[in-house]
Amino acid sequence: MQKLLLIVSICLLVIKVSAQQNPQYSQYMMNTYLINPAVVGIEDYTDIKTGYRNQWTNFEGAPTTFYVTAHLALDKPDRTSTGITPNISKTIRRPLTPSRQFDGSPRVPGHQGIGISLISDKTGPSSQVSLLASYAYHIPITGHSKLSIGASGGMTQYTLDFSNLQVKDNPDPAILGGGKITAWQPTINIGMWYYSRQYYIGASANQLLFQNYNYKSNTDNTSGYSWVGSVFPHYFVSAGWRQELNEDWAVIPSVLLKKVNLAPITYDINLKAIYNDRFWFGASYRNKDAVVALLGCNISSLINIGYSYDFTMSDLRERSRGTHEIVIGVMLNNRHRIICPQHIW
């Protein structure tokens, strides 16, 4: 079997690069901002997360992804410190504002959210780096739920590094010369998120409007070639439910549907169990791809951590040693000392 690097290289060294896919994430539930900009500002603190994913660890040149995201709420007055016991997030799982809506339920004010993300993804000689800024507005629907509408925009740099290519038979002259070609492309994402403290449903569309870009060479070796790349819109629909079993245990089933133009619909089915709002574990099934083991801990009101391991089920399973992913979260300005996130599970 040829190594993944050779397969990817051959695909990329045609006149037109046919597709660029968003990175894959197994712990998107821990940081939904990666796929939906409408979640920015959903919590009561500044939510900072960094993640690293090493996919198909036995392959040279296999995908690796690194990201840093941060978002926070603006003018969010729907919680006060009255009656809140430090370190116990369960005590604030219901609105505390005294005002009432027409149906008698507590009124939940609207608020804004802003965020920023930096994502780096590399597969063999191909890499992309995105820097995006996001904005969302959270609209009260009932006393216990809100609808958030959000968008993000920024730039993505695509790079093809010929020095990382090794083709033995009839190599393209551009490959022999080495060097890099790069392209810059505007990126626009939109999303919506309807949520309460017990459930959520969201939809988003990423990489909209701008689909074709032209590579530019920084050497004379590749200047005679027309290098064109394409990105395809990505569509996501997700939903989840938090079911409290007793004072200590809760379970969270969730699902994610994904659609990329020119590709079939795929889906993730997830189930997590949380003990005392501190320790969680679970599993995911990604159709025709992997079974994922999940494990994490909300260490304190400042730090949480998650780890996942993908057991490959596709044709790559004979060579792949699985996929490792780790996510570390920091909750700054956490004035209520929340341990377990209230809306992103």
Q: Please state, rounded to an integer, the average pLDDT across all residues of the chain.
A: 82
What type of residue is 193? W
Q: What is the pLDDT at residue 220? A: 56
> Is the per-residue pLDDT at 7 higher than 70?
no
Please state the rounded mean pLDDT for residues 89-111.
53
pLDDT > 70 in the chain, percent: 74
Token duo for residue 139: 């609209």
Please state the rounded mean pLDDT for residues 245-249.
95
| pLDDT band at 56; cut points 50, 70, 90 | confident
- Of 229 and 182, the one with more pLDDT: 182
What is the CA angle 17-23-27, rounded to 5? 170
165-190 pLDDT, tens digit per residue, is 666 555 555 555 567 888 888 999 99
Q: Are strands 234-241 and 46-54 parallel, antiparallel or unpaired?
A: unpaired
Please state the rounded mean pLDDT for residues 227-253.
91
pLDDT > 90 in the chain, percent: 55
Cα–Cα distance for residue pair 33/41, rounded to 1 Å: 10
Q: What is the pLDDT at residue 91? A: 41
Residues 6+ apart with CB under 8 A from 258: 234, 235, 236, 265, 266, 267, 268
- Of 83 and 248, the one with more pLDDT: 248
Please state the rounded mean pLDDT for residues 150-166.
86
Task: Please report, for residues 33, 115, 140, 192, the alpha-carbon distance to residue 36 in angstroms, rounded to integers and kept in the order given.
Answer: 5, 11, 19, 7
DSSP string of 120-134, one letter each residue: EEEETTEEEEEEEEE
Q: Global pTM?
A: 0.82
> Is the per-residue pLDDT at 158 higher than 50?
yes
Task: Please report, for residues 129, 180, 298, the alpha-carbon distance to residue 126 in angstroms, rounded to integers and kept in the order given.
Answer: 11, 10, 35
Q: What is the DSSP letter of 170?
A: S
Please state the rounded mean pLDDT for residues 80-88.
40
> Is the per-residue pLDDT at 86 higher than 50?
no
| pLDDT band at 17; cut points 50, 70, 90 | very low
> Is the per-residue pLDDT at 81 higher than 50?
no
Cα–Cα distance for residue pair 111/99, rounded to 1 Å: 16
Q: What is the pLDDT at residue 322? A: 85
> Is the per-residue pLDDT at 73 higher than 90?
yes
Q: What is the pLDDT at residue 190? A: 98
> Is the per-residue pLDDT at 289 higher than 70?
yes
Cα dihedral 84, 32, 149, 78, rounded to 10, equals 0
Q: Are strands 16-17 and 228-230 parallel, antiparallel or unpaired?
A: parallel
Task: Choose the most confident range, by mean pLDDT, from 14-28, 70-84, 143-157.
Answer: 143-157
Cα–Cα distance for residue pair 296/305, rounded to 1 Å: 6
Contact predicate 339/300, CB 8 Å = yes
Q: Are strands 228-230 and 212-214 parallel, antiparallel or unpaired?
A: antiparallel
> Is the per-residue pLDDT at 222 higher than 60?
no
Please state the rounded mean pLDDT for residues 26-36.
95
Q: Name 115's bridge partners.
A: 71, 134
Lowest mean pLDDT among 74-88, 124-138, 247-261, 330-344: 74-88
Cα–Cα distance for residue pair 40/134, rounded to 1 Å: 7
